[in-house]
Amino acid sequence: MRYYQCDKYPIEFVLSENIDKHFDAHNHVRHYVLAVVMQGTIVIYLENREVACHRGDVFIIPPYTVHSVRQGKDVRLLSMCIGTSFVEDNDLEVAGKIIRDLLGDAVAQGIFGKEQKEKLQSFVWTVYALLDKELKEMDADIKFLADKIANHPEQELSIEALASDIFVSKYYLIRKFKGSVGMTPHQFCIQNRIRKSQGMLDEERTVSRIAAEMGFYDQSHFDKVFRRIVGVSPSEYVHSKKYIEI
């Protein structure tokens, strides 16, 4: 897997190939994912539906939408991850120009081809349509707790403490949280620890220090969970990440 991050905006391209993996159920809290299948067939499990996507197909995963992915070694998949902050800060006209320029630079640098550029560019408007329709509604109390966990996943937040925040029993909270977010508070916390650690790996910190700061038992435990969620080890992630300057 290779990662190409824009140096100015919260937009990242992920090129996934030569892996045989089933990514467990998860969601993306702070970005939309637009993905185009470059080769082979990929199977997406999206809200109790199984969808097979073939070469040239495009699929979109909005924030908080629970999904899992099965990808074989013959598959090449290009994903464009667009931060929710980018969508909120820029209208469609401005965003379209920025993304058009960014896609052009990516093609010029040989990251992917014109076919993928045109596919992704043509679906940018869909992100704004999803934002306007607010397809993924969430109970205000659960959204409050989800944001609390996502903002500070390294903190040890017990089920009892979270339940007391919204004045419900821990059993009701677990059921309600999983129904809204698609996973338990603990699973959601672990996922967001890994997401936050991805950003920390860009800084001058050792993997062992990040593992400790993010609340993992040790580096081995961190490596195992990171590989399960991201698909590569922390060191492989660092070495495969590059920046696109626009």
Average pLDDT across each block of 10 residues of the chain; the chain has 246 residues. List them in order: 90 90 86 94 87 93 89 91 92 93 92 93 87 63 90 90 91 90 91 91 82 89 92 88 80
Its pTM stands at 0.85
Instruction: Report the pLDDT value the prediction gives residue 25, as an integer from 0 to 100.
Output: 86
2 CB-near residues (< 8 Å, 6+ apart): 14, 15, 240, 241, 242
DSSP string, 112-160: S-HHHHHHHHHTHHHHHHHHHHT-S---HHHHHHHHHHHH-TTS---HH
Instruction: Report the pLDDT value the prediction gives residue 137, as an integer from 0 to 100.
Output: 65
Instruction: Report the pLDDT value the prediction gives residue 135, as an integer from 0 to 100.
Output: 45
- Amino acid identity of residue 128, one-letter, is Y
Instruction: Report the pLDDT value the prediction gives residue 132, as an integer from 0 to 100.
Output: 55
